Amino acid sequence: MKYRLTANGELIRQKPDGTWDAATARADWDRIDSTTDAEIERQEIADLVEVALHLQVGGLPALAVRLDVSPSSVRRWRRARVMPSAAHQQRLHNLLTTL
């Protein structure tokens, strides 16, 4: 499906028959409501890792070295599979404030 932004900032989508109509956001409120605090925290860390990777020259291995962890640990944090320890979270925050 194709999407376009109109001159007035409206998002439209092309339907299979070739006509265009307004694209509306659809939220899965059941999924949102069932999200746990732990899942939100893991996603926040994953977002921070993404930011660090965009700012960090050298990619994931270099970031792992700077955080003193294995690349696989950073990869698991990035995928929101596990939470880093409090000490590693602090290192990540410190790194981001110095970049």
Q: What CATH number does residue 91 fall under?
A: 1.10.260
Check whether residue 59 and residue 92 sit in a common domain. Answer: yes
d(CA 62, CA 97): 17
Whether 98 shows a pLDDT value over 70: the answer reads: yes
Share of the chain above pLDDT 90, in %: 70
Check whether residue 46 and residue 83 sit in a common domain. Answer: yes
Domains held by the chain: number: 2
pLDDT single digits (tens) 14-24: 999 999 998 88
Whole-prediction pTM: 0.67
Check whether residue 42 and residue 88 sit in a common domain. Answer: yes
Which position has the token pair 């860390």? 45
Check whether residue 49 and residue 75 sit in a common domain. Answer: yes
**Which value, in Å, is the radius of gyration of the alpha carbons in the chain?**
19
pLDDT confidence band for 57 (50 / 70 / 90): low
Check whether residue 69 and residue 28 sit in a common domain. Answer: no
The domain containing residue 49 runs over which residues?
A: 36-98
For residues 74-80, give the mean pLDDT.
95
For residues 81-86, give the mean pLDDT.
93
